[in-house]
Structure 1
Amino acid sequence: MDSIQYNDDEYDGPLGQVFTWLGPRWNNESIFLNATCQDATKLAKGVPCSEPLVVSQDGSWPDIEYIWRNHLGNASCILADNDVCAQHTYYFNGKVDNSTTAAQMNTVKVVVKNVPDYGASRERNDLGFLTFDLKTDLSHLFNWNVKQLFLYLTAEYISPNNELNQVVLWDKIILRGENALLDFKNMNTKYYFWDDGNGLKGHNNVTLTLSWNIIPNAGLLPNIQAIGQHSFKFPTDYTQTRV
């Protein structure tokens, strides 16, 4: 999704025009033509969305007058005394952009041990070890207002002790001007993959995702998750070898 537009500049009155445009890279055959905001934003957090969703035939800006004339009931809202009209749009290189960043990741080596966690208690808990590949191009995320990116790789899984576990295994800061084309092979994790019990051994559905915070010079700090994930299994036996 590219932008949400509230626009009644050309109309005097109590109505505000509300719709979400999916952006210039969608065409009239977009899978989101009949989608809801929940469908369009499920891969991103904190992105504003108001229905109806608009897809322009050739990627040009939506015809606001047409929407106003023909879809007034669906694309309008009543403005209260304290309401104002605003516009939220994503730009890249001075142009409206709705590009969604993809990331390719893969696990190379996956083992699990059962050892005492002296940092929390002396009980024996599962400790996972893995190496991973990661490939993505984040260059297009930088503009004049982006100071740096804070990337982090997260493992998510369900265990008997917790309905949802999220463990950050690796992170990286990329400053503006640095190389944002990543192609890592057989990388070690930076942080320990502890479970608060024995939930890793034999676990058959642990999912890796890549996310980042955009650190601006001024403004909000959006949290974005890349398209693409990788699911892997832990062995059914503990390793006795040194890792």
Structure 2
Amino acid sequence: MHNYFDRINNVTSFFVTITFLIILTLMSSTIVFPKDLDEEPILYSNTNMTKKIATFTVVYFDLEADFEALFNWNVKQLFIYVFAEFQKSNGVHVNMMIWDRILRRGSTDNWVNLKNVPAKYYLNDLKYLCSSNLTLSVHWISIPTAGVFYPYNHKESRITFPLPNDKTCSA
């Protein structure tokens, strides 16, 4: 009738198909029920917002948020980042990432409470920043164990503040 290789092939194909269907069902559960933060992230600007180093600007900010609610069985890690947005005099809208952090599932530091933190990445368009308002916003991307990347920004925190317009800007 059937030899042993055919029987092993049929059993293996059956178990692979069942495993694929289980993974597909579990993956779709995270698409149907996306998790959101319980509270909005809190982003503050400091009175000591910027300091000029050569042609760079360093922005200091405070960030307070609990990202534990975003973790479920399929979330391996979260990529948290802060954008600085401003508009140049010619009308071009610029987004620049100034800070980021990776939070891992099971880690004890999923509560982010940062005070007077300098940006990791400098703002280097100093001549455009001097006459502009700077908007900081917090975003995150959920990195799944299995499935598709989804940028979650259901609740985001934005703060806008004017940058100083002093004689170092015209140089």
Displacement, 1:163? 1.6
Q: Percent identity?
A: 31
Q: Extract unaligned runs of 5+ from structure 2.
A: 1-27
Contact 2:49–2:61 (CA<8 Å) still a contact in 1?
A: no
Aligned length: 138
Task: Please tell me whether the aligned partners of residues 76 and 104 of structure 2 are also in contact (alpha carbons under 8 angstroms).
Answer: yes
CA distance in 1, matches of 2:52, 2:40: 32
Secondary structure in structure 2 of the residue aligned to 1:183:
strand
SS in 1 for 2:69: helix
How many Å apart are 1:214 and its aligned residue?
Answer: 0.5
Check whether the contact 2:80–2:101 (CA below 8 A) recurs between aligned residues. Answer: yes
CA gap of 1:128–1:202, structure 2 versus 1, over 3 A, is same
Question: Where does residue 156 of structure 2 map in the other structure?
Answer: 227
1:103 lines up with 2:41 in the alignment: yes
* Distance across 2 between alignment mates of 1:161 and 1:112: 25
Distance 1:91 1:160 in 2: 39
Secondary structure in 2 aligned to 1:140? Answer: helix
Q: Deviations over 1:73-131 (max 9, x none)?
A: xxxxxxxxxxxxx9952155xxxxx6565111111122354845xxxxxxxxxx32221
Any gaps of 5 or more consecutive residues in structure 1? 1-85, 93-97, 117-126
CA contact (8 A) 1:154 1:210 kept: yes
Call closer, same or farther: CA 1:217–1:114 in 2, change over 3 Å: closer
1:155/1:169 contact within 8 Å kept: yes
Q: TM-score, normalised by structure 1?
A: 0.51
Q: 2:138 aligns with which of 204, 210, 232?
A: 210
Structure 2 partner of 1:184: 114
More helix, by proportion:
2
Q: Which has the higher contact order (CA 8 A, sep 6+)?
A: 2
Assess if the C-alpha contact under 8 Å between 2:86 and 2:93 holds in 1: yes
Shift in CA distance, 206/217, structure 1 to aligned 2, threshold 3 Å: same
Q: Is the 8 A contact 1:154 1:167 kept in 2?
A: yes
Q: Distance in 2 between matches of 1:236 and 1:163?
A: 20
Task: Report SS of the residue matched to 2:129.
Answer: coil
